[in-house]
Amino acid sequence: MLNLEKIKFLKSASSANDFPEDGGQEIAFVGRSNAGKSTAINAIVNRKNIARTSKTPGRTQLINFFEIDTKHSLVDLPGYGYANVSKTKRKSWDYLITDYLQNREALRAVLLIVDSRRGLLDSDKIFIDFFLPMKKTLHIVLTKSDKLNKREQEKILNKVKTEYEQYITAQLFSGTKKTGVDTAQKRINEIFTFTG
């Protein structure tokens, strides 16, 4: 079992030339802007500000690499679906993210971060349809689930699982209440173990 708390910031990349050497295993965190990606990363690795959180959508503008050990890393990708940036900037983000997802040999899986209150939006479904043909693991993390009652939680989880049941795994998660953290940690360890 990997000790995720040993994680440390490795580097930020604004282009593929800035990526660390393509070796070992990586799990990428992807999601709409403001879905709670940074909060989820911080909760999963039990570190307060390893990934910077912000109230401003679109804050993560680079690909950020975090090293657990020399063979295992977590990667924070810029959020998609945020309209309040220039078309040029959005195009360069899209290109950077696509380049990473399609060409990175070390990539083993994506944890797709989705705000449970909003469910899977069109941009999430577009991402899933883009990613599934790559035949890599996709685990959906439904964040902010503490904002829903029990019935709403079950409804959104079942909806996501039913829609993509053959292709994905999914879970409820709350970074503030720390619910689902152990499930996410276990999933990360399983992915690193079985895709090694």
Question: Average per-residue pLDDT in the chain?
Answer: 91
pLDDT higher than threshold 70 for residue 85: no
Domains along the chain with CATH numbers: 4-194 (3.40.50.300)
Residues 159 and 186: their CA atoms lie apart, in Å, by: 23
Per-residue pLDDT tens digits for 111-163: 999 999 999 999 999 999 999 999 999 999 999 999 999 999 999 999 999 99
pLDDT at 153: 98
91-96, long-range: CB < 8 A, 24+ apart: 93/61, 96/13, 96/14, 96/15, 96/16, 96/63
pLDDT bin (cut points 50, 70, 90) of residue 106 is: very high
Radius of gyration in angstroms for the set of CA atoms belonging to the chain, rounded to a whole number: 16
Cβ neighbours around 109 below 10 Å, total: 22
pLDDT higher than threshold 70 for residue 83: no
pLDDT at 54: 54
Strand 8-13 and strand 63-69: the pairing is: antiparallel
Please give the average per-residue pLDDT across 68-78, as a whole number: 95
- All residues at 6 or more sequence positions from 77 whose CB lies less than 8 Å from its CB, including other chains: 28, 29, 30, 60, 63, 97, 100
Please give the average per-residue pLDDT across 39-51, as a whole number: 93
Token pair recorded at residue 98: 């696509």
Query: What pTM was estimated for this model as a whole?
Result: 0.92
Give CA separation, 113 vs 97, 120, 145, in Å. Answer: 15, 10, 12
Candidate ranges 88-92, 94-98, 150-154; pick with highest mean pLDDT: 150-154
